[in-house]
Amino acid sequence: MKLLVTGGLGFIGSNFILHVLKNYDDFEIINVDAELLGSNHENLTEVKNVPNYEFVKGNITNRKLMEDLISRSDAVINFAAESHVDRSIADADPFLKSNIRGTYTILDIIRNQKKRFVHISTDEVFGSIENGSAVETSNFNPSSPYAATKAAAELLVNSYFVTYGCDVVITRCTNNYGPRQHVEFDIIPKAIALIQQNKKVPIYGTGKSIRDWIYVDDHCEAVMLALQKGKSGESYNISASNEIDVLTIVKNLLTLLDKPLSNLQFGEGRPGEDLRYSLDSSKIRRDLGWMHKIDFAEGLQKTIQWYLENENRLEDLPKNTLSSTPWKDLS
């Protein structure tokens, strides 16, 4: 099978490509990526010359390019997205273009070419969860411009199933962590980078916002199962049920890296900050046979080790990485 993977130079997309090429012999991959913030060719150095991998620079809003690439593929996995919440607060326009217009472009092509489309979404479409966990049919309640564009994209995907009978599957995942993530994009790589440089680690508000953490390889295998076994028109929540608040994460990292807790720097809360994310992943476990394999302690150690072995990825920190209010510094 030949897959078109969009956004394959980014964190999750690159890990997905490596996961497929290492574990599935009968797959070829075309990777289309616009080489924007978060994209890095170093993520795929080990496969750049293998015969079943091809890279194409391009934007998913480019219809002519996407028509050609999709015609050469059996299915499309859409990781491409503007995904940094802070940046969406500072300027939502790129998120509207990539996350909505880009998804529409792919959908309209697969409608005509009759290809399977797996759309990668996020737990953030459900907003903050007070009690219990969101199931696939829970109401959307996005808080940030980023989350709103992802919710809108999901509605588009579903409409192409209902109206045109397109072969589409949606996956929603919780907070990924692991190797190859840009240091600006989430608290774990950001904290590791700052700790290693003996800088203060900024914390939004009290740091008590709870996130549901999953090691990226477990997410990648869930996406493969959705591709191979997912029912058309269905969505699948993906979660390892590791709910831990941000402050606890950073304290653990400081301890593991032998730095004092005085390296914490508390700032104001982020606008529209969700207090808790939580997904119920019973459906994908029951229907597709998925289960996560990496517990949080093991995954965190693997992540730390990767960044310590790839210290160049921790250098040249963006200025806003040092800020406790990066959404202001980006505007």
| Distance in angstroms (rounded) separating the CA atoms of residues 48 and 181 | 18
pLDDT digits (tens, 9 = 90+) for 177-234: 999 999 888 999 999 999 999 999 999 999 999 999 999 999 999 999 999 999 999 9
Catalytic residue among 124, 186, 212, 218: 124
pLDDT digits (tens, 9 = 90+) for 255-305: 999 999 999 999 888 888 899 999 999 999 999 999 999 999 999 999 999
Return the residue matching tokens 């491409």.
80
Stretch 235-249: mean pLDDT, rounded?
97
Return the pLDDT at 320. Answer: 66
pLDDT digits (tens, 9 = 90+) for 152-184: 999 999 999 999 999 999 999 999 999 999 988
| Distance in angstroms (rounded) separating the CA atoms of residues 236 and 242 | 18
Return the pLDDT at 101. Answer: 98
Judged by DSSP in three states, 318 sits in coil
Judged by DSSP in three states, 32 sits in strand
Per-residue tokens: 152? 């809108």
| Close Cβ partners of 74 (under 8 Å, ≥ 6 residues apart) | 1, 2, 3, 115, 116
Stretch 241-261: mean pLDDT, rounded?
97
pLDDT digits (tens, 9 = 90+) for 40-50: 999 999 999 99
Catalytic residue among 146, 160, 204, 277: 146
pLDDT digits (tens, 9 = 90+) for 55-94: 999 999 999 999 999 999 999 999 999 888 888 999 999 9
Is the confidence at residue 327, as pLDDT, over 70?
no
- To the query of whether residue 160 is one of the catalytic residues in this protein, the response is no
Catalytic residue among 28, 33, 82, 123: 123
Return the pLDDT at 37. Answer: 85
- To the query of whether residue 124 is one of the catalytic residues in this protein, the response is yes
Distances, alpha carbon 321 to alpha carbons 37, 72, 92, 175, 315, in Å: 14, 40, 19, 19, 11
Closest CA to 11 of 241, 214, 270: 214
Q: Domain 179-211+242-276+295-329's class?
A: alpha beta
Portions of the chain given CATH number 3.40.50.720: 2-176+215-238
Q: What is the CATH number of domain 2-176+215-238?
A: 3.40.50.720
Return the pLDDT at 316. Answer: 66
pTM, two decimals, is: 0.95
- To the query of whether residue 146 is one of the catalytic residues in this protein, the response is yes
DSSP assigned state of 188:
H
Portions of the chain given CATH number 3.90.25.10: 179-211+242-276+295-329
Is the confidence at residue 323, as pLDDT, over 80?
no
Full strand arrangement of the beta sheet holding 210-215: 175-177, 210-215, 243-245
